[in-house]
Structure 1
Amino acid sequence: MIERKKEMGRDRVSRLVSWGHWFAFFNGFLAMIIGVRYIETVGAPESLIGWSYLTISTLGHFSFLAFIVYLVVLFPISLILPYSKILRGLAAVAATISLCILLYDTIIYDDYGLHLSPFVFDIAWADLNSLLQGTSYIVTPLGIIILELTAANFLWKRIEKIRKSNYGNKVVIFIGICFVSSHLIHIWADAADVTEITRLDDAYPLSYPATARSFMERHGIEKGEMSHNDTRTQPTLNYPISPLQCSANDRVNLLLVTVDGFRADMVDEVTMPFLYQYARNNHQFSRHHSGGTIHESGMFSLLYGLQGSYIAASDLDYRSPVLTQELTQQGYALGLFAPKMESVVPNAIYQNLEDHTQSLSEGIADADIRSIETFKTWQAEQVQPWFALINLQSPDSYDTPIGFLGIETVKPKQALKPAQKVLFNQYRQSLNFIDKQLQQLLTQVPEETFVLITGVNGKVFTSDNNEARTNLSPVNVNVPLIINWPGPANAKTVNYSTSHYGIVPTLMTQLLNCNNKAQDYSSGQSLLQPNPNNWTYVGDNLVFGIYQEDEITVIDRHGKYRIYDKDYSQRLRKKISAPEFIQVMREGRRFYNH
C-alpha cells in the first residue's frame, strides 16, 4: 500500500512537471507574439538572412525565458505542493505577471530605447501617466489571466494524451537547436560585421548574444571579410522628418575647420596667439560643448546634428547629412581635407564630399600641412560657391613636424601626474603648430567666406583610448567655437551654453535659407539663441553623459549611472533627474520610424 501511494505520488509529480513544460512552451509562444512590438520599434529586417536569424532567435530566446520562469517559480512548487489546482492557479498568476512585465517593457523600450531595470522603472514611474493611456492597463491583465487559466485547464485535461504523442522531446530539441544556432550565427555576424543581424542585439530583454570577434580575428578572419557588399536595409529613420524647404539666394563660401583633441581652455595668448586674437575679433562661444569625446561621435554630432544615440542607425551607412545633401542640391562644390582615416562612422558621413585625404606616411602633422596646401589649390580652382571641411588631427596625437620650434614649457595650472605633465606640454607644442597653420590658412581665405572653427572633441592627457572615450569630464567635452560671418567684423562673445547640435541648424537657416523647423532634421537649434533645454547629450549609443548647469550624469547602455559635480571632481550621492532623462530618451527615439 505504501509503495502504491509513493508510485501514485511520483506519477502525479511527473504529470505536473510534464504539464508545466507544455504550459511554459505556450507562454513562450505568447511572449513571441508580444515580442513583435520590439521589432516594430527597431525596424524589421529586409534580407532573407535577417529574417532567418530573427525567426530562430525569437523562438529560442522567448522559449528560454519562459522555461527559466517555470524552472524558478513553478518547478519547486510542483515538488513541494503537488496539487494541480493550486499549481494551475499560481502558474496562471505568475504567467500573467510575467507577460504584463514584458508588455510594459515593450512600451518603455519604444519610448526610451532601454529595457526595464530598477533604474529605468524608477524613471518610468515618474512618467507613468503618459506611458499608460486609457484603461488598457486594467483590461489587458484581466484578459491575460482569463487566457492563462483557460490554457492551464485545457492542457491539464489533455496532458496524458499529449504525453503519449511523444512530441515533447521533438519540441525541446527544436527549441534547443534554435537557441544554439542563433548564438552561432551571431558569432559569425559579429565577426563579419553583418549589421542586418547585429543591430538587433539589444532588441529583446535579457538578450546577450554570443560574440567571438577576437577569437575569429586571431584565426585569420578579418572584420567584414564575410559581409555582404550591399548591407542596405529598410529605412529605420525619418531623417529629415519633413522635406527640406530651402532656397538658393546669395550663396557664400563655407569653410569649416575642425581640430581633433581641441580643449577650450587652451586658446590663450601664449599657446595660440593668432587664434586667440582672431576669436576676440569675431563671434566666439565661451561655453560650447562637443557632442562626443572621440572623433567619430564628435564629427557625427557636428555634421548630422543628431544625438550620438543615432550613430549606429543602419541607414546612416548610406544616408548622408542633410547639410551636405542641401549644399549639393544648391550647386556647391564640396571637399574634405583631412588625414587618411582607417574607418569612417557612419559610412555615409562624408559621402557628398570630394575626397582629398592625405597619407599618414610622414606623420599626422605633415598630413595636416598637406591638407591645408591641398585646400588652397582646390579653392583657387573653384568657379562656383564651395564648402570645405578641413579636419586637423595633430593635437589629438601630440604631433608636430620634425624641426618645429615651439614655445617654452610651463607648469600646468591643474595637478597632473609626471607622465601627464609631459603630455600637457607636448600638447601645447602641437596647438602652437596648429595656430601657425591656421594663421597661414585664414589670412588667405577670400573675404566673403563664412568661417567656423571648432574642436571635434576635447582632450584628456592619456594614451588609453578607452579612457579617452569614456571620460566625460569638461576638458574632454568643452571645445572652442569661433565664427567669422561674411561682411564687416562683428566681435561678440556668447556666454550661454551651446553645442555641436546647433551648428547644422545655424548653417541651414542663416546661410542656406531653409524654412523648416530645426527639429525636422536636428537634435539642436540655432546657435544664435539660447537652448530651451537645460541639458546637452554627449557621447554615443553605448556610453553618454547628460550635461546640466551644475551636474554631469554618466550613463551606460544598461542604465547604470553616476552623477558628478560640474567640474567632474566629485561624485554626487543623488538620484538622476527624471524629467531631463525622459527628454533625452525621447529625443533619442524621435527620428525612428514607429
Structure 2
Amino acid sequence: MIERRKQMTRDKVSRLINWGHWFAFFNGLLAMIIGSRYIGSVGQPDSIISWGYLALSTIGHFTFLAFIVYVIFIFPVSLLLPYSKILRGYAAFVGSMALYILLYDTIIYDDYGIHLSPFAFDLAWQDLNALLHSTSYIITPIVILVIELTAANFIWKRIDKIQKKQWGNKVVLFVGTCFISSHLIHIWADAANVTDITRFDDAYLVSYPATARTFMESHGVDGNTVTSDEPSQKTSNLHYPIEPLQCQTETQTNVLVIAIDSLQAAMVDDVTMPFLSQYTRESLNFTQHYTGGTQFKSSMFTLMYGLQGNYSDKKDFTIIPPIINQELTRQGYQLGLFTARSLTELASTGAMFKGFQPHISVSDDGSATTDIQSITALNQWQHNQTAPWFAVLNLTAPQDYDTPVGFLGIETIKAPTSLKPAQKVLFNQYRQSLKFIDNQLSQLLPEIDDNTIVFITGTHGQVFTSSIEDARRDLSPDNVKVPLVIHWPNISPSETHYRTSHYGIAPTILSKILGCTTASEKYSSGRSLLEPNQESWIYIGNSREFAIYQKDEITVLGRYGKYRIYDANFEQRLNKKMSAPELIQVMREGRRLYQN
C-alpha cells in the first residue's frame, strides 16, 4: 500500500512536471508576441537572411527565458507542493508577473533605449504617467492574467492527450535548433560585420548572442574585412540626420583637430605645459569642457558625430559615417587621420573615419616615438595639399606615461596628498609625458598655416592607475574634464566659462566653418560652442556605463544597472534618489534619432 502511494505520488509529480514544460512553452509563445514590440523600437530587418535570423533568435531566446522562469520559480514548487490546483494558480501568477516585466521593459526600451535595471526602474517609476499614457496598459495585464489562468487549466486537462502524441522531443529539438542556429548565424554576422543582424544585439532583454570577433582578432584575423559599404537602411528607425543639411560657404578654411589621450584639464599650466598654456591665452579657451567618453572610441564618437555616447553602441553607426565627413567631402576637403592606432583598432570604430586617409605610425620604442612620427607625417601631408584640408591628429604618449629615450623633462613636484605612493610616481611621470607633448606642440603649431583653425582637446582625462579597465570605468571629473582650446584667426582671444562638451565641436565646425544653416538639433545632441549653452546636463560614457553631470550632482550608472549619486566635486556620495526631470530628458535625447 505504501509503495503504491509512493508510485501514485511519483506519477502525479511526473504529470505536473510534464504540464509545467508545456505551460512554459506556451509562455514562451506569449513572450514572443510581447517581445515583437522591440522590433518596432529598433526597426525591421532589411533582408531575408536577417528576417530569418530574427525569427530563429526570437523563438530560441524567449522560449529559453520562459524555461528559465519555469526552472527557477515553478519546478521546485512542483516537488514541494504537488497539488495541481495550487500549482496552476501559482504558475499563472508567476507567468503573468514575468510577462508584465517583459511588457514594462518593452515600454522603457522604446522610450529610453535601455533595458530594466535599478536605474531604469527608478527613472521610469517617476515618469510613469508619461509612459503609461494609454488605458491599454491597464487592460493588458488583466487580459494576460486571464489568458494565463485559462491556459494553465486547458493544458492540465489535456496533458495526457498531449503526451500521447509525443510532441515533446520534437518541440525540444526545434527550439534547440533555433537557439543554436541563431547563435551560429550571429557568430558569422559578427565576423563579417553584417550590421543588419548585429544591430539587434541589444534589442532583447538579457540577450547575449555569441560573437567571433574577439577570438578572430586574438589570432590576427581582421574581423572587419567583410563588410558592405552601402547597406539598405530603409527599414531602420534611425533618422540621422533628421533632415538633409543645407550648407554653403564662400571661403574654405583648413581645420586641424588635435586629440590628445589622457589630457587632464588641470595640468595645462605654465610649469607643466608652458607652450600650450600660453597658446591658450592667445585663443578661445573653454574652461568648463567635458569629453563624451573615457576611451578613444567613445570620446571620438561624440566629437565626430556630435551625439551622446549611448548612440555609439548602435550598430547603425558601424556603416553610417558622421555627417561632418560627408559635408567635408562634398565641399572638396582632403581628410587625413594621423595616429598610432592599428588598422584593427580603427576598424573597430566603424564608419567614424570613413573618407579619411589614415597615416598610421608604428614603432617598437613606445608611444612617444609614434607621436613624433605622426606629427612629422602631418607636417609633410599638409604642406603637400593643394585643396582645403581637415586633419585629425591623435597623440597617445600621456596615456602610457611615455617619453622618448634621453628626454630632458621638468623637475618633479610634490604630488597631491590624496594619492597613494605608487600613484605619486605615476603623477610625476605623467607630467613628464605632458611636457614632451607640449614640446611637440611648440614645434608643430608654428608650422601650421596662420589661417588654419586649430582645435586642441583631450580624448579623456587621466586617473593614476596602471589598470586600463579601471581608468575606462572611472567617470570622475579628473577623467572626463579636458581642455578645449580653439585657435581661430580673426576672433579675439577669450575665456568661456559656461559648460561645454565634445557634442558641440561638430555643430561648431558645420555651422561656423562649413556654412550649414540647418538647426543643430536635426543632427546633433550639442550646440555650437560659440553660443551660450542652456543645457544643464552632460552625458558621458556609453549605454552600459555612463555618468550624467548636472549642476549640483553627478549620477553614475555602473556595469550592473546600479546607480550612485555624488556631489558636484565627486567627493561625497549622496544618499538620495535621482532628480528625474533632467535625467528623463537625457535618456530621451539618447532615443530621439530613433523615434518613428
| TM-score past 0.5 threshold | yes
Q: Which amino acid aligns with 2:248?
A: S
Partner of residue 591, structure 1: 593
Question: 2:472 maps to which residue?
Answer: 469
Asked if structure 1 preserves the Cα contact closer than 8 Å seen for 2:368 and 2:403, the reply is yes
For residue 380 of structure 2, what is the aligned residue in structure 1?
377
Instruction: Give structure 2 stretches of 5+ with no counterpart.
Output: none
Using the alignment, how far apart are the partners of 2:515 and 2:191 within structure 1?
45
Query: Is the 2:109–2:115 Cα contact (8 Å) retained in structure 1?
Result: yes
Following TM superposition, by how much is the alpha carbon of 1:244 offset from its aligned partner in structure 2, in angstroms? 0.8
Aligned twin of 2:104: 104
Compared with structure 1, are the counterparts of its residues 8 and 470 closer, same or farther at alpha carbon in structure 2 (3 Å cutoff)? closer
Name the counterpart of 2:120. 120
Change (3 A) 1:143 1:405: same
Once residues 407 and 217 of structure 1 are traced to their aligned partners in structure 2, the CA distance between those partners, rounded to angstroms, is: 43
Structure 2 residue 222 is the aligned partner of structure 1 residue 256: no
Q: How far apart, in 1, do the equivalents of 2:314 and 2:444 lie?
A: 36
- Length, aligned pairs only: 591
Give the structure 2 partner of residue 396 of structure 1.
399
- Bigger shift: 145-154 or 529-538? 145-154
1:567, distance to aligned residue in structure 2 (A): 2.8
Structure 2 CA distance for partners of 1:183 and 1:382, relative to 1, 3 Å = closer
**Counterparts of 1:86 and 1:419 in 2: how far apart (Å)?**
62
Matching residue within 545, 548, 551 for 1:546 = 548
Distance 1:545 1:372 in 2: 33
Kept in 2: contact 1:234–1:315 (CA 8 A): no
d(CA) in 2 for partners of 1:272, 1:552: 29
SS of the residue corresponding to residue 369 of structure 1 reads helix
Distance 1:35 1:110 in 2: 12
User: C-alpha separation between the residues in 1 aligned to 2:460 and 2:4?
Assistant: 77
Moved more, 149-158 or 333-342: 149-158
CA deviations on 1:361-389 (whole Å, 9 max, x unpaired) are 45332332333333233323333322222
- 1:221 and 1:485, CA in 2 relative to 1: closer, same or farther beyond 3 A? closer
SS at structure 2 position matched to 1:443: helix
Deviations 1:241-281 (A, max 9, x none): 21111112222221222211111111111222222112112
Q: Distance in 2 between matches of 1:578 and 1:161?
A: 54
Task: Tell me which residue corresponds to 2:492.
Answer: 490
Deviation string 1:443-492 (CA, Å, 9 cap, x unpaired) is 233232222111111112222111111111212111111112221x5121
Tell me, in whole angstroms, the C-alpha distance in 2 between the residues paired with 1:94 and 1:537. Answer: 37
**Match of 1:406?**
409
Runs of 5+ consecutive residues of structure 1 not aligned to the other structure: none
Aligned to 2:245: 244
Q: Is the 8 A contact 1:284 1:481 kept in 2?
A: yes
Q: Which residue of 2 aligns with 1:161?
A: 161
Distance 1:149 1:415 in 2: 61
The whole-number CA distance in structure 1 between the counterparts of 2:379 and 2:219 is: 42
Cα 1:87–1:244 change in 2 (3 A) is: same
- Map 1:322-361 → 2, pairs under 5 A: 322-342=323-343, 343-344=345-346, 345-361=348-364
CA distance in 2, matches of 1:384, 1:217: 40
Is 1:460–1:468's contact at 8 Å kept on the other side of the alignment? yes
Rounded to whole Å, the distance in 1 between the matches of 2:69 and 2:39 is 23
Normalization by structure 1: what TM-score?
0.89
Instruction: Report the identity percentage.
Output: 58
Residue matched to 1:147 = 147
The aligned runs of 1:173-572 (5 Å cut-off) are: 173-180=173-180, 182=182, 199-209=199-209, 221-222=219-220, 224=222, 228-230=226-228, 235=233, 236=236, 237-342=238-343, 343-344=345-346, 345-487=348-490, 490-572=492-574
Q: What is the rounded CA distance, in whole Å, between the counterparts of 1:507 and 1:426 in structure 2? A: 35
Cα distance in 1 for residues equivalent to 2:252 and 2:155: 74
Query: Matched residues in 2 for 1:11 and 1:290: separation?
Result: 65
Query: 1:10 offset after TM fit, Å?
Result: 6.1
* 8 Å CA contact 1:196, 1:231 repeated in 2: no
Q: 1:96, 1:145 within 8 Å by CA — same for their partners in 2?
A: yes
After superposition, give the CA deviation of every residue in 1:307-346 in whole Å (9 maximum; x if it has no partner). 1212232232222211121111112222222334351242
Distance 1:412 1:354 in 2: 41
Structure-2 separation of matches of 1:471 and 1:73: 37
Q: 1:368 to 1:92 in 2, by over 3 A?
A: closer
Structure 2 counterpart of 1:434, one-letter code: I
Q: Tell me how far 1:188 sits from its aligned partner.
A: 7.2
Structure 1 CA distance for aligned equivalents of residues 216 and 432 of structure 2: 38
Contact (CA 8 Å) 1:534, 1:549: kept in 2 or not?
yes
2:192–2:223 contact (8 Å) kept in structure 1: yes
Change (3 A) 1:204 1:557: farther
Cα root mean square deviation, aligned: 3.1
Provide the residue aligned with 1:172 in structure 2: 172
Question: Residues of 2 paired with 1:524 and 1:377: CA distance?
Answer: 34
CA distance in 2 between counterparts of 1:245 and 1:512 reads: 10
CA deviation string 1:62-90 (max 9, x = no partner): 22332343445555665676665665555
Q: Do the aligned partners of residues 95 and 490 (structure 1) sit closer, same or farther apart at CA in structure 2, a change above 3 Å counting?
A: same
TM-score, length-scaled by structure 2:
0.89
SS at match of 2:313: coil
Do the aligned partners of 1:190 and 1:212 also contact (CA within 8 Å) in 2?
A: yes
Q: 1:255 to 1:92 in 2, by over 3 A?
A: same
Deviation of the 1:528 alpha carbon: 2.0
Tell me: CA distance 1:351–1:568, structure 2 relative to 1, closer, same or farther (3 Å): same
Moved more, 447-456 or 75-84: 75-84
Counterpart CA distance in 2 for 1:119 and 1:370 is 45
| C-alpha separation in 2, matches of 1:226 and 1:429 | 37
Aligned-partner Cα distance in 2 for 1:502–1:476: 19
Residue 55 of structure 1 corresponds to which residue in structure 2? 55
Instruction: Give the deviation of 1:296 after TM superposition.
Output: 1.5
- Does the C-alpha gap of structure 1 residues 150 and 63 become closer, same or farther in structure 2, counting only changes over 3 Å? same
1:285 deviates by 0.8
Q: Secondary structure at the match of 1:591?
A: helix
Q: In the alignment, residue 59 of structure 2 is paired with which amino acid? A: L
Q: 1:91 to 1:357 in 2, by over 3 A?
A: closer
- Give the superposition deviation at 1:162: 2.0
